[in-house]
């Protein structure tokens, strides 16, 4: 069965520091991969997605993610975090041809001044 | 451009009372529609999805039901709420395909926070 693991429940980084949020998935083939962000009390907003092609994907708000097939990972990165990036981040995997996007449990990002 | 609306934004209901949450999408036709529940500190759980009017697929057995009376309207209901129904309910849509069943990017509404007391 497909699954998504986000090992870090929460992460705290200083403003201006770099960020990496981890995501590992379990699926027999290459899935569609997504990162979403959720501000408190809000819906989810798509940051970026990977379907095929270049394994380094650029998204909105200065985020990028790299798909590594050998590690079944799709980690999210940002070189310099801003206080407004404080939110919860969800990695998701969707097997091609199906409706069942599976979300990780989320990683809450705290940004300290 | 496409927009998705959910209401109410917040709802407090007693145990055993009925529920009706509504979701509507504008600016697109024949979307795939989804209901998710997000419990505190947990990820999203897919409850229902729909590929067309009157077509509902349930992912998790529970006391909730969903209906799609119109192309861009998706309703989540319950006859009798349980305490465990508390959570944040998110509606989402994705581009529908004529063949049905191709996963695409999902776009989420602002959510409804439900508290059952």
**Which of A1, A29, A99 should one mutate to test binding to chain B, selecting the residue with the greatest count of B CBs within 10 A?**
A99
Cβ atoms of B80 and B16 closer than 8 Å: yes
> Which of A4, A44, A97 lies at the smallest CB-CB distance from B108?
A44
Q: Give every CB contact of residue B83 below 8 A, 6+ residues apart in sequence.
A: B15, B116, B117
pLDDT for B83: 94
Classify the phi-psi angles of B83: left when phi > 0, otherwise alpha if psi is within -120 to 50, otherwise beta. alpha
pLDDT for A43: 87
Top pLDDT among A76 and A32 is at A76
Q: What token pair was written down for A50?
A: 């990977």
Top pLDDT among A32 and A58 is at A58
Residue A106, exposed/middle/buried by CB under 10 A (0-12, 13-18, 19+)?
A: buried
pLDDT for B102: 47
Residue B102 to residue A96, Cβ atoms within 8 A = yes
The C-alpha atoms of residue B63 and residue B15 are separated, in whole angstroms, by 12
pLDDT in tens, A65-76: 999 999 999 999
Q: Give every CB contact of residue B104 below 8 A, 6+ residues apart in sequence.
A: B32, B94, B95, B97
Q: What is the mean pLDDT of each run of 10 residues along chain B (117 residues)?
A: 92 96 94 88 85 88 90 96 93 73 75 94
What is the pLDDT averaged over residues A31-47?
90
Residue B102 to residue A42, Cβ atoms within 8 A = no
The C-alpha atoms of residue A36 and residue A76 are separated, in whole angstroms, by 10
CA B40: distance to chain centroid? Answer: 17
pLDDT for A76: 98
Top pLDDT among A90 and B100 is at A90
pLDDT for B76: 97
Residue A106 to residue B34, Cβ atoms within 8 A = no
Q: Does the CB of B50 have a partner CB in chain A at under 8 Å?
A: no
> Which of B6, B49, B113 lies at the smallest CB-CB distance from A99?
B49
Query: Residue A36: its chain B contacts at CB < 8 A?
Result: 108
CA A7: distance to chain centroid? Answer: 12
């Amino acid at each position: 069965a497909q699954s998504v693991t986000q090992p870090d429940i929460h992460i705290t980084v200083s403003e201006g520091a770099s960020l990496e949020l981890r995501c590992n998935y379990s699926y027999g083939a290459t899935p569609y991969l997504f990162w979403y962000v959720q501000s408190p009390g809000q819906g989810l907003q798509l940051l970026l997605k990977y379907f095929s092609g270049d394994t380094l994907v650029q998204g909105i708000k200065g985020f990028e993610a790299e798909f590594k097939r050998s590690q079944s990972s799709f980690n999210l990165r940002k070189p310099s975090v801003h206080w407004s990036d404080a939110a919860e981040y969800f990695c998701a995997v969707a097997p091609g041809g199906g409706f069942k996007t599976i979300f990780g449990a989320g990683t809450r990002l705290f940004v300290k001044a | 451009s496409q927009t998705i609306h959910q209401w109410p934004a917040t709802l407090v209901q007693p145990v055993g009372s009925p529920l009706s949450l509504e979701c509507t999408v504008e600016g697109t036709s024949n979307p795939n529609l989804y209901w998710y529940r997000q419990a505190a500190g947990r990820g999203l759980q897919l409850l229902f999805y729909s590929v067309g009017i009157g077509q509902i697929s349930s992912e998790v057995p529970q006391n909730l039901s969903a209906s799609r009376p119109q192309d861009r309207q998706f309703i989540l209901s319950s006859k009798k709420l349980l305490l465990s129904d508390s959570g944040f309910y998110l509606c989402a849509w994705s581009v529908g395909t004529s063949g049905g069943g191709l996963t695409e990017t999902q776009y989420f509404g602002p959510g409804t926070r439900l508290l059952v007391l």
